[in-house]
Amino acid sequence: MQPEAEAPPSRLGPGVGIQGVLEIDGELVISGLVKGRIAASKLVIAPGGYVEGDIVAREVVISGRLNGRVFAPTVSIAASAEVEGRIFHTSVSVERGARVNGRMPWRPVSYFDTLDQLPENRE
Amino acid sequence: MIFNRDKSGDQSQPAQAKPAQPQAAQPQPGALKPEQAAKPAEPPRPAVTAPPTSTKVGANMASVISKALKITGELESTEDIQIDGQIEGDVRGVGVKIGQNAKVKGTVYGDDVELAGTVEGKIEAKKVLISGTARMTGDIWHQDIKVESGAYINGSLKPELGKSDAKQAPKPAAASTSSNVSSLTGTTGAPHH
């Protein structure tokens, strides 16, 4: 998997704050702050990054902080992560040391293929 | 409960995780997932491939909005930013570079704005560079501007930014003394009207 060969990944540095909707057909690395909705092929919340809102992606890697929901077949939560919310996944890994507060509902892969609209909040 | 108890182990692990490059999102990929560990290419990756990525993309720019990224909303940055994607909303930055394929609908605020792409809205910046490929629809408020041949500008150039603030020393009496800045604006602005 070499996404940077075609489209270089987008990077939001520590000094960047965004409020709104982010859509990317590729990889997005967040070291800053995002409040809103994110749709990406791959999303990385780097250490120091903070996301508040819903994330829809094929793959999500969390090393920073997240407050919201994740909808992704593959989710990796690193030791430095702090997660609050729900993680809808097919395959999830949580590294020892991560702080996870919330449910992690399992869904088949097909669930994410047909995920056009996010389920309404029923937290 | 389990998570809380494990926090004692947390103390040592973040120390390892923090110094990793932002791109190396999985500080210890081998420990993360059995399936990833199975791939022989994965374990050495973060340390090896992360630095080349950061040098390759946007040189030393801290933040890059790539071509594939579309943002609807407000963006604020305290560091330099390169925009190659689409933004609908205001951008507040310091150094802002808007690439050739980028499109911004909204106001771009900054100290130093370089425009090679499209802006529909307004630019408010101390220093503005409009290159030949730029397409600007809207007013440009500035203190210092350069417009290259070929640029499309539909709007007014206003060399008044910061006048009321009186923070910039070079322009205390801009009305009487026609400084370099204002004369330059006059010549570059005229052909476009």
| CB of A84 less than 8 A from some CB of B | no
Distance CA B108, CA A116 (A): 32
pLDDT in tens, B127-158: 999 999 999 999 999 999 999 999 999 999 99
Q: Which residues of A touch B89 (CB under 8 A)?
A: 20
B89-112 mean pLDDT: 96
Please give the sequence-ordered ranges of beta strands (E in DSSP) within chain A, or none if there are none: 10-12, 16-24, 27-30, 33-45, 50-52, 55-62, 65-71, 74-77, 82-88, 91-94, 99-101
| CB of A75 less than 8 A from some CB of B | no
pLDDT at B146: 96
Q: What is the ipTM of this complex?
A: 0.88
Q: Which residues of B touch A63 (CB under 8 A)?
A: 17, 25-27
Closest-CA distance of chain B to residue A54, Å: 15
| Rounded alpha-carbon distances, angstroms, from residue A17 to A33, A118, B87, B106, B120 | 5, 24, 14, 16, 22
pLDDT in tens, A41-82: 999 999 999 999 999 999 999 999 999 999 999 999 999 999
**pTM score over 0.80:** no
Using CB atoms, which residue from B70, B73, B77 is nearest to A15? Answer: B77
The domain locations on chain A are: 8-113
Residue B55 DSSP SS3: helix
Closest-CA distance of chain A to residue B135, Å: 23
| CB of B160 less than 8 A from some CB of A | no
